[in-house]
A and B are shown apart, each in its own frame.
Chain A
């Protein structure tokens, strides 16, 4: 074995990583997003997507939804470290495969094309509640809500039809049924 020159121990065997959706309820105050995001970057956790907005104006509470990957130990640490932040009220965590949770992303597609092609575009999107937000003689802006991979697929399909610009949100999540947090 090669003699280690480091006074630190070597990294040990890697565990399998999973994708999780972490939902965080925070006080909507200056710097709170920086605290949450800084925790992730500072401790070397991943952020695949992030969605944040105020959900309770009276209590001044924002809901942050973060898609992340990590070993079970890392996911546990993420939750525990988040709970330590002063402006954090509550933390919930779902596995991506969890059947009891609904995940959605929204995307806006701008397509520049001939008028008759537009119908074709809408057909491609048909299963994902396409809404036309803007329409001119040679362009259209379509909104869809779907899962991340579905939006990925959609953008590939729309590319040859004149897709020029995509704007996407991060995933948001909600549990099914009558159960809810807080």
Chain B
């Protein structure tokens, strides 16, 4: 007879077989048998967070920067309710997570036992799938299935709820079986005819644009390489969603910058005026489309996505290709080469007028701003941070708000998996714990959380985690004392009634850093900004960088509510265009 293992042992055996190296977790009564087993598995390291939400976001940061699933271990009741925000965040942004939660013993389920909650009920709408393990015999199968569901197709979070008695009970363990289709679900469902149609459309097009998203990143680093090849092969302009940044080099001439509500003037206008829109791994989010009826009205639309339910959900498309981005692009490139189309040459003249038009839009310099030598402009701070860190492989996480948009606009990413931000759910407090996870995955790399002072206070306790594990994360706070994006909307939409968006009492972040046992740096004068940033980068340990910025700065350009892409509001710089031009722009 095969050897019998306890539930707790089986969890770790499964982790080992799935190649798990790190668990982000927090112990409690209902997971104690699992924590007891931890000491017997040297290859798996547990990272003790300070709040379960932090465990969730750290696992997200780990997953997004490494491409491997993030593992969370939490106790029943409050342990699992605290992780719900992170699970929902991962669900919206398609991040693979496996969350193991403890549960009260099976005979107490439903009796309102201590720290009991309906975990599978609460997490059902925010996971791809979840399981309550009622029989120990099911545990090995369910755990392997959990990894399979989390990491295949469109990735996402899953949760396995394991009652305490199941963690003690014994059964036989078996290793994961080779990939099998789960209930007939397949992920690549396209044919050569669709690829030929795709090529037909790009040959005919005179005003094309690629619109790429997080699906490219999720498809793996190879997908970004394929995308670059395809974009260079066609010579078409490309824009990216917030989540897709880094798939195509941000400083490349064919890249028009991010599109959407705070996207560039050239990207949004190109989306509106194009005659062929090629969506690769993006989902026509409402922050991208603006007014649906007037979204890219004159274009043929192609949508490549692994999730069939993303097709025609918001925008009807002319050609849908359901499949993994990398697989699809590889076949497209192969077909183009086989047909010897020589697109680079033939396209050049065909789309030269289009590029001319794009250059005109570009000359608006929509990301420009009026700089100051008295106060630090937040955009300037991000620009300097980029200039001083671009020579090394830097990983950026953000919180949510104005600083997030400035980071997305001003920081240029050249590689995938270097940019971790909460896009779908927009979770304030995401960036700091995510940076912890990123640093765990890449211990030698520079990891910076570009933060706002309001967001970062939501999960500040994770600084303590960073200190415990010697994670040299840099928390770069653009401190404007306001919930900046809320203040901006109140200014633009609610007659400057700044209701509750000002923080009257903020902590002294430098003293706070010292209290946590890390380094605090404050800078107020633009003159000392570079010097201070360099000090932060050089310091071998976690840093809280309190960058006091102009509190009244707004994030432009912006598509106002209910407006199409070609009716953007531009920043104050474009209004003063006559006064300041050319080189002057970069000086002021």
Contacts and interface: CB of A to CB of B under 8 A. Distances in A.
A167 to B, nearest CB: 28
Given A31-B124, A84-B309, A86-B129, A12 B292 contact: yes
A93 interface: no
Contact of A86 (B120, B128, B560, B561): B128
Interface string B301-322: 0000001110111001000000
Nearest to B292: A12
A35 B293 contact: no
B505 interface: no
Contacts of B443: none
Interface residues of A, number: 30
B584 interface: no
B183 A88 contact: yes
A4 interface: yes
B149 A12 contact: no
Contact of A7 (B183, B307, B316, B489): B489
Chain B interface residue bracket vs A: 20 to 34
A62 to B, nearest CB: 13
A5 interface: yes
Interface string A85-97: 1111110000000
A13 B293 contact: yes
Interface string A135-149: 000000000000000
B309 A9 contact: no
A87 B128 CA distance: 11
Contacts of B313: 73, 77
Nearest to B493: A5
A86 B150 CA distance: 11
Contacts of B290: 9
A35 B126 CA distance: 11
B121 A34 contact: yes
Given A9-B290, A31-B120, A38-B125, A4 B183 contact: no
A86 B154 CA distance: 13
A90 B292 CA distance: 31
Contacts of B582: none
Given A6-B561, A27-B183, A80 B125 contact: no
Most buried by A among B149, B292, B309: B309
Most buried by B among A9, A35, A42, A84: A9
Given A27-B183, A35-B124, A89-B184, A10 B562 contact: yes
A8 interface: yes
Interface in A1-57: 3-10, 12-13, 27, 30-31, 34-35, 38, 42
A29 B345 CA distance: 58
B42 interface: no
A8 B121 CA distance: 29
A89 B311 CA distance: 20
Nearest to A76: B312
B95 interface: no
B562 A90 contact: no
A88 B560 CA distance: 41
B562 A87 contact: no
Nearest to A34: B124
Interface in B265-298: 286, 289-293
A81 interface: yes
A73 B560 CA distance: 27
Contacts of B184: 89-90
Contacts of A7: 261, 489, 493, 561
A9 B292 contact: yes
A142 B129 CA distance: 43
B344 to A, nearest CB: 37
B186 to A, nearest CB: 11
B396 interface: no
Contacts of A90: 184
Contacts of A77: 309, 313
Interface string B131-158: 0101000000000000001000000000
A73 to B, nearest CB: 7
A7 B286 CA distance: 10
A104 interface: no
B183 A12 contact: no
Nearest to A86: B129
B132 A30 contact: yes
A7 to B, nearest CB: 5
B37 to A, nearest CB: 27
A87 to B, nearest CB: 7
A5 B313 CA distance: 25
B494 interface: yes
Most buried by A among B183, B290, B293: B183
B324 to A, nearest CB: 16
A86 B182 contact: yes
A30 B109 CA distance: 14
13 contacts: A4-B562, A5-B494, A6-B493, A9-B289, A10-B291, A12-B292, A13-B293, A30-B132, A31-B121, A31-B124, A80-B311, A83-B308, A84-B307
* Interface pairs A-B: 9 shortest CB-CB: A80-B309, A86-B129, A4-B561, A5-B493, A4-B562, A9-B562, A10-B562, A12-B293, A42-B125
Given A5-B561, A12-B293, 12 more contacts: A3-B493, A4-B493, A4-B561, A6-B561, A9-B291, A27-B183, A30-B132, A77-B309, A83-B308, A84-B307, A86-B128, A86-B185
